[in-house]
Structure 1
Amino acid sequence: MAGELIRELGVLPSYYLHYYYEHDAAVRQMKQETPRAQVVADTEKELLEIYADERVDEKPPQLDRRGGAWYSEAATALLASLVAGTGDNHVVNVRNAGTIAGLADDDVIETLCRIDGDGATPLPQAPVAPELLGLIQHVSAYERLAVEAAVTGDRVALRKALLAHPLVGQWSLVTRLEQLLLETGAEHLPRFAVQKVAE
């Protein structure tokens, strides 16, 4: 991500934000590569086959392709804080519960929390700048609508979810993505299949 952008935002953005802040370049690159979901699925299959052998006692090289370096260390440290009740600080996903103004209390946020035997307590933070909050609100709206669509099979909620997503937001893309999603993912979306029969 451009150093100038980081300086102007005044924050250190997550790597994933390049999908939003450098959208066109990210899409061009993804079109030239095997989709990340396919890479991960293939790698997971290989890893499960390797781990089926109980004699394996070294890290398989495929694990480096999976991504998430240091997740195991972070998870172990988090569990140690929970069990020991030490009150250490960790970045974890929790209910917003008023931590970030402008989001619903039950929106999930990733934030710095105090971890003890009772769980995770978000630490207070300064208000989020509008240029950052707007993106967070868009993504939260998408997540909420996507869950509603998945649970109910409501095609309107599905289209609203896609429309709310900052990387979609165009009606022609929404209708095309809806069609592709329901064609290619039908076996994983039974509620939509039931609704389609009912129509």
Structure 2
Amino acid sequence: EPHWTPDAIDKIKAIPNYYLLDYYETQAWINFQKTAATRASEVMKIEADLLIKYGDENLKTKPDELMLRGGAYYSDSAAELMADIASDAHRVHVVNTRNNGAIPEFPNEVVMELPSLITKDGAKALSGSAMRPDIKVLVDGVKNFELLTIEAAQSGDEATAIRALVSNPLGPKADVVKDVWARLKEVHRGLLGRFDE
């Protein structure tokens, strides 16, 4: 499975999140996915094993498979966040919230994943410094894809959906995007809101 190497981290001069490997090591992920089981099939197997264990009335401990399922610590983080809101703790959490000037290059109203001060009134994004141009170009691409996707979902406009797909830094190229969109609609029929009308 692809992973960040010290050499790669040295090249980008940043401490990246794991999921950024999709963008920086795209070909390595494609090669890995050609031979590895899909994450969905792994999770389905884990869930089947968990259901068997949960059927055991004598089970007294948390099954190890829960750590493999994904989101293993999400419940802890969510509980801490809720407690900090309820107690007006004024602690910092990384959450998805309105930018509100925290990242100066982005509009106030866009949602960003940011360190935020948590109070009884919710999250207040902490101000950050300007992004390096090489990092901003990736964030811009992903954010523009998100915003176009929202616009397409709200309007039901297929041309906007296609623009969203082709604007994604990992998305299909213009010569195949219509075929990809047609396949997405076929596979997800009944789940696409206005596109199902």
Deviation at 1:115, TM superposition (A): 1.2
Read off the aligned partner of 1:165 and give its amino acid letter: N
Read off the aligned partner of 1:112 and give its amino acid letter: P
What are the superposed Cα offsets for residues 149-189 of structure 1, whole Å, 9 maximum, x if unpaired?
A: 22332111111111110002511342231121011111212
Deviation at 1:48, TM superposition (A): 7.0
Greater displacement, 36-45 / 176-185: 36-45
Q: Which runs of 5+ in 1 are unaligned?
A: 195-199
The answer to whether residue 31 in structure 2 is matched with residue 25 in structure 1 is no
Q: Is the 8 A contact 2:101 2:127 kept in 1?
A: no
The answer to whether residue 35 in structure 2 is matched with residue 14 in structure 1 is no
Q: Is the 8 A contact 2:104 2:129 kept in 1?
A: no
Q: Normalising by the residue count of structure 2, what TM-score does the alignment of the two structures yield?
A: 0.85
Q: Normalising by the residue count of structure 1, what TM-score does the alignment of the two structures yield?
A: 0.84
Which residue in the other structure is 1:115 paired with? 118
**Are residues 37 and 148 of structure 1, via their aligned partners in 2, closer, same or farther at CA, if it must alter by over 3 Å?**
farther
Other structure's SS at 1:113 match: strand
Greater displacement, 61-70 / 47-56: 47-56
2:162 paired residue among 159, 162, 180: 159
Which residue in the other structure is 2:191 paired with? 188
Q: In structure 1, how many angstroms separate the alpha carbons of the residues matched to 2:192 and 2:48?
A: 22
Q: In structure 2, how many angstroms separate the alpha carbons of the residues matched to 1:104 and 1:85?
A: 27
Q: Is the 8 A contact 2:149 2:161 kept in 1?
A: yes
**Are residues 50 and 187 of structure 1, via their aligned partners in 2, closer, same or farther at CA, if it must alter by over 3 Å?**
farther
The answer to whether residue 152 in structure 2 is matched with residue 149 in structure 1 is yes
Deviation at 1:51, TM superposition (A): 6.2
Q: In structure 2, how many angstroms separate the alpha carbons of the residues matched to 1:47 and 1:64?
A: 11
The answer to whether residue 192 in structure 2 is matched with residue 175 in structure 1 is no
> How many corresponding residue pairs?
194
Deviation at 1:2, TM superposition (A): 2.9
Read off the aligned partner of 1:125 and give its amino acid letter: G
Which residue in the other structure is 1:138 paired with? 141
Q: Which runs of 5+ in 2 are unaligned?
A: none
Query: Structure 1 or 2: larger helix share?
Result: 1
2:96 paired residue among 72, 87, 93: 93
Q: Is the 8 A contact 1:100 1:127 kept in 2?
A: yes
Q: In structure 2, how many angstroms separate the alpha carbons of the residues matched to 1:128 and 1:47?
A: 43
What are the superposed Cα offsets for residues 73-102 of structure 1, whole Å, 9 maximum, x if unpaired?
A: 222222221111121111111111121122
Q: Percent identity?
A: 34
Deviation at 1:64, TM superposition (A): 2.2
1:35 paired residue among 35, 38, 52: 38
